[in-house]
Amino acid sequence: MIQARGLTKKYGSKVAVDHADFAVQSGHVTGFLGPNGAGKSTTMRMILGLDHPTAGDVTVNGKHYRELGAPLHEVGALLDAKAIHGGRSAYNHLLCLAKSNGIAKRRVDEVLGLVGLQSVAKKPSKGFSLGMGQRLGIAGALLGDPGVLMFDEPVNGLDPEGILWIRNLMKQLAKEGRTVFVSSHLMSEMALTADHLVVIGRGKILADTGMQEFIDTNATSHVRVRSPQLAELGPLLARQGWRVEVEGDESLRVYGPRTAQVGDVAGDNKIRLHELTAVQPSLEEAFMQLTGDTVEYHAGIPGGAPAAGVTADQVPAATPDGSWVSAPPPPGAAPPPPGAAPPPPGVQGGPNGGQG
């Protein structure tokens, strides 16, 4: 288990990690997410004693890293796959690590087999691809058979087969009761691998929660409806008090109702539908929703940021004048009575109106 309490790191006036409290439990794959520069690597470095906290502390199995008697047997880490002496072979690199940590030679062959590098084990690692380097780093992390494993962007540079392999490896390690703490920017991959999340933004812990709970708390499911009569359907749906967003030339996202309710409105008004789907939110949507304000390095989006999940180019393209895009009703508010007037144009925002 990894436990951080009030963990803080300042570089001059820059607060890289700001009073972070979180726990990484054994038996789970815990994803460590955050935008660029959020403080993930700094946190991992402090866990491994490579950086000293300015305040607070972090322990592995109840001890500071420097207090661990046989560190490689307790915690294995892949932080930077390139941090390997390029002239050494994979075998010799691992053998040096093993010898200096009292680990049996046969374990080197074992981990080389585990990561699939036997055939290139005697070649200098400077000729390795990024993916091979990642595998060698993972072999080093596994060498001491530790109960706690940390991986910083482990799928970086791996091909699809490699990504699947590391996903299964991490799940297997957690199943064996180990603590697995992994950072990644690949949300779809994280959604498939982690069951718990620690989310950091500008050095502060924004969430420490289960995967599904995180998604449910930070993003909303919606109904996707596709119709050749969007210009008629949009205002009718908005009149029910539901938030309606344009998703493409022929579809809308409707927040609030069940699919049957959207179908009923369309049917009552003789509007043809080509699709009616309940869409569950993704980890990416939830992550963007939570961390949007904490992103340090923004790329410019012409016309401003769109609502989560709706790309900037889709918003104006398919909206006639945007007047029927409604804001969400206040929680608990009753929908307006049938036949009530639609919201007046412009009152609840323009083409992207009411979307924040």
Ligand X SMILES: Nc1ncnc2c1ncn2[C@@H]1O[C@H](COP(=O)(O)OP(=O)(O)OP(=O)(O)O)[C@@H](O)[C@H]1O
- Identity at 147, one-letter amino acid code: G
Furthest CA-CA distance within the chain:
80
The least distance separating ligand X from the CB of residue 78, rounded to whole angstroms, comes to 14
Nearer to ligand X, 91 or 287 (CB): 287
Q: Which residues bind ligand X (CB under 6 A)?
A: 11, 14, 16, 34, 36-42
Nearer to ligand X, 39 or 234 (CB): 39
- Do residues 35 and 295 lie in contact, with contact meaning Cβ atoms separated by under 8 Å? yes
The least distance separating ligand X from the CB of residue 225, rounded to whole angstroms, comes to 37
The least distance separating ligand X from the CB of residue 299, rounded to whole angstroms, comes to 14
Structure tokens that stand for 156 in this block: 């970086």
As a whole number of angstroms, the distance between CA 340 and CA 240 comes to: 9
Nearer to ligand X, 13 or 100 (CB): 13
The least distance separating ligand X from the CB of residue 81, rounded to whole angstroms, comes to 13
Nearer to ligand X, 297 or 337 (CB): 297
- Do residues 3 and 65 lie in contact, with contact meaning Cβ atoms separated by under 8 Å? no
Nearer to ligand X, 39 or 147 (CB): 39
Nearer to ligand X, 16 or 271 (CB): 16
The least distance separating ligand X from the CB of residue 39, rounded to whole angstroms, comes to 4
As a whole number of angstroms, the distance between CA 232 and CA 106 comes to: 71
CA angle 244, 250, 252 (to 5 degrees): 15
The least distance separating ligand X from the CB of residue 186, rounded to whole angstroms, comes to 12
The least distance separating ligand X from the CB of residue 16, rounded to whole angstroms, comes to 3
Structure tokens that stand for 112 in this block: 């080389």
The least distance separating ligand X from the CB of residue 183, rounded to whole angstroms, comes to 7
Nearer to ligand X, 46 or 286 (CB): 46
- Do residues 208 and 23 lie in contact, with contact meaning Cβ atoms separated by under 8 Å? yes
The least distance separating ligand X from the CB of residue 34, rounded to whole angstroms, comes to 5
